[in-house]
Chains A and B, each alone.
Chain A
Amino acid sequence: SQTIHQWPATLVQPVGSPLSLECTVEGTSNPNLYWYRQAAGRGLQLLFYSVGIGQISSEVPQNLSASRPQDRQFILSSKKLLLSDSGFYLCAWSAIWTDTDTQYFGPGTRLTVL
């Protein structure tokens, strides 16, 4: 069966510090991968999605970037965090051959920028 991991689970960072959040998927190959942010009291916002290694699409202009160095690894980064980057970050995956529109979410990372 497929599983998706995210770490760290929680993170407190000062403004201006760098960020690296990691997401890995097990039990499937060539998944589509997604990063979402859920700010307090707001819905989910798609930040990035990837259909393959090195292929990243950005949905909104922002202070963040994403990379996919390996097939089942998706990394969310920032060089300098802003207060507005605080939120709950969710990684998700979907298959590319069947049931392609169903996304499965990881446990999330709670980021607090102070």
Chain B
Amino acid sequence: AQSVTQLDSHVSVSEGTPVLLRCNYSSSYSPSLFWYVQHPNKGLQLLLKYTSAATLVKGINGFEAEFKKSETSFHLTKPSAHMSDAAEYFCVEGGATNKLIFGTGTLLAVQP
């Protein structure tokens, strides 16, 4: 069965330092992969999507993710964290019949 593993449940960074949120997927074929962000008591907002057109995907708010098939990874990065980036981040894989497979989420804290 398909699964998505987010390796860190919590990540804490200082404002202005780089962000790395790690994600591994399980599909043996080239999947659709997404990163969503959820601020407290809000819905999920799409940050970016990988669809095999390019391995480095740029998203909103300065985030980007790199698809590495050899490592089955799709890590999310940002060069410089902002206080407003504090939220929960979900790595998601597209499954059969438009169903999504969610990771368990990574809570990002940004310290001043």
> Which A residues form the contact surface with B (CB < 8 A)?
6, 32, 43-44, 46, 49, 88, 90, 92, 94, 100-108, 110
Does chain A have a CB within 8 A of B43? yes
Interface size on B, residues (CB 8 A): 19
| B43 adjacent to A101 (CB under 8 Å) | no
Residues of A within 8 A of B59 (CB): none
> Which B residues form the contact surface with A (CB < 8 A)?
32, 34, 36, 41-46, 49, 90, 94, 98-100, 102-105
CA of A65 to CA of B100, assembled, Å = 20
CA of A32 to CA of B100, assembled, Å = 13
| A105 adjacent to B98 (CB under 8 Å) | no
* Distance to closest chain A CB from B94 (angstroms): 4
Nearest B residue to A94, CB-CB: B98
